[in-house]
A and B are shown apart, each in its own frame.
Chain A
Amino acid sequence: MIFDSISYSINDKHILRGIYLKLEKERIIGLFGLNGSGKSTLLKIAADYLSPTSGSIFIDNINYSYKNHDERYSFISYLPQNTFLPKDVKVKTVLNWFGNSKELIEDSHIVDQLNKKVFNLSGGELKYLELSLLLSLDKKYILLDEPFTGIEPKFIDTMIERIRERKIKGTGILITDHYYRYVSGFIDDGYYLHDGYCKKMNLEQGAINSLINEGYLNSK
């Protein structure tokens, strides 16, 4: 999946300027940046919820910028920042929609919630459920916008394990999250968004050091 020269502007304000990014299968890319740097905007463009001012999205060498929305989703799945599940349905109904995959029905944390309505889940439980649902789908590319928000640490570890499993199965994953300590531990490549530009991070010097150098973290 290639983000080719993606630019996005609102009212003459340049959010993204000619972004080039390549998401390969069996790779995990971490996208970092300060609040408002355009991380979510870039994911929304990839997920076809925003149209770029210029630039194209290529999937397997085919330009999907002008293709049908549904066609693009035969390759990708997308976790937005905000919840996407209807609130007044039961968890078991939602699992049914997603095909009751083995990893879902064997997850004791989800099984415990089967008869609860989505509305009654806490923010962390809901995020855990949504992330689990998306990772159960067999797609070539997964776009995750702040997937760990609200999830307790031991379950973040479970999710990281599932993300790694998905990678081994051949999926390319693009993830953005402010939980940099978790994310930097399992990514293959890191990119830093600043002032509309996307810069590849030097992970050899350590992701944390690289984030300090970029001004994302304080040096102390």
Chain B
Amino acid sequence: MFSYLFIRYLLISIIFSGMIFIVAVIDPADMIPNNAVITISGFGGGIIGILAISFIFNRGNLWVLYSNLQKSKFKYLSLNYIIYISGTILINLISRII
């Protein structure tokens, strides 16, 4: 259950951040001026932020779920922090690369 939720959330994060990365950083058609790149990267960061928030709202009350199923509280906390930390790292990485 833990890996199912985690992989699901992580994959969606990677797909969206990857799309933003391709458009904003590689800029294959060389059509986006530098300031626009910064704007798009900010926009991308915003999308990831919104996604992270929506994951948190979508997760239900995982603590109750984990408790009832007698899954370790450590895993519950890990899932929350991994989602939060990975979102933060992705936003940071994109803004630094750009």
Do these two chains interact? yes
What residues make up the interface of A, taking CB atoms closer than 8 Å to B?
47-49, 69-70, 73-74, 77-78, 80, 82-89, 93, 97-98, 118-119, 133-134, 137
Stretch at the interface among B18-26, B29-37, B38-46, B56-64: B56-64
9 additional A-B pairs beyond A84-B60, A86-B60, A88-B8, beta carbons within 8 Å, are A69-B67, A84-B65, A84-B68, A87-B58, A87-B59, A88-B58, A97-B1, A98-B69, A133-B68
Chain B residues with Cβ under 8 A from A70's Cβ? Answer: 67, 70, 72-73
Q: Which of A78, A86, A88, A133 contacts B67 (CB 8 A)?
A: A78
- CB A149 to nearest CB in B, in angstroms, measures 16
Classify the secondary structure of A's interface with B: loop
| Cβ contact within 8 Å between A97 and B69 | yes
CA distance A134 to B69 in the complex (A): 9
CB of A118 to closest CB in B, whole Å: 8
B7 within 8 A of A: no
Closest-by-CB residue of B relative to A72 is B67
- Contact status of A73 and B65, CB under 8 A, knowing A86-B5, A88-B58, A97-B1: no
Q: Which residues of B contact A (CB under 8 A)?
A: 1, 4-5, 8, 58-65, 67-70, 72-73
A30 to chain B, nearest CB (A): 22
**B68 to A, closest residue via Cβ:** A77
Evaluate contact between B68 and A86: CB separation under 8 angstroms.
Answer: no
Instruction: With a 10 A CB-CB cut-off, give which of A73, A86, A88, A89 has the most chain B CB atoms.
Output: A86
B58 contacts across to A, CB distance below 8 A: 86-88, 119
Contact A80 B61 (CB under 8 A): yes
Check if B70 sits within 8 Å of A84, measured CB to CB: no
Closest to B59 in A: A86
Alpha-carbon distance between A201 and B59 when the two chains are bound, in angstroms: 39
Which residue in chain B gives the minimum CB-CB distance to A97?
B1
Which of A80, A87, A97, A137 is in CB contact (< 8 Å) with B64?
A80
